[in-house]
Amino acid sequence: MLAPRLLTVLLVVCVLVTGQPTPSAGAPRPASAPPAASALWGWPLAQDPEVTRPFLPPPGPYAAGHRGVDLAGAIGQPVVAAGAGTVAFAGMVAGRPVVSVDHPDGLRTTYEPVRPGVAAGQPVSRGSPLGVLDGGHAGCPVEACLHWGLRRGEVYLDPLSLLRPPRVRLLPWP
């Protein structure tokens, strides 16, 4: 008797939260269903590039670390926006060509060395061309590497986390 009541309560909560009943298992999803979170982000280089150097957060704000990931690529390869936003910067930094994109959720992605094909203030969507990959990234074991960075404010984050769906964990019910 408890199971039917629990099922009824769950169905009512689902309708109140989403405005729609939960589709039964195997039922097709409506075409208007929102995209999954991971669909908001993509690789900045084509074909799931190899990570040649992973993110290594520094132990402090001025300590050594690797504040992004290096992705294997080829000189002249197109570099695209990992997510929708507005170009914050496109130009030279310390002798290297860099493009930065501000995203609506407070994140900023950076791409270097990239010869820009965009200008500051330009809106971009996920997959929009930002420029082309240049050579000369220090420590790159292949023809060219893209250094892809991510930060929120002054805190550097692993950009690969944008491509992974969030882990959902259930906690015990008291």
pLDDT in tens, 88-140: 999 999 999 999 999 988 999 999 999 999 999 999 999 999 999 999 888 89
Residue 158 burial by Cβ neighbours in a 10 Å radius (0-12, 13-18, 19+): middle
Model pLDDT, residue 51: 95
pLDDT in tens, 154-174: 899 999 999 987 677 777 887
pLDDT exceeds 50 at position 20 = no
Domain 38-162, CATH number (from 2.70.70.10, 2.90.10.10, 3.30.1360.120, 3.30.450.70)? 2.70.70.10
Structure tokens at 51: 């990570």
Mean pLDDT of 48-68: 90
Model pLDDT, residue 36: 45
Per domain, the residue ranges of the chain are: 38-162
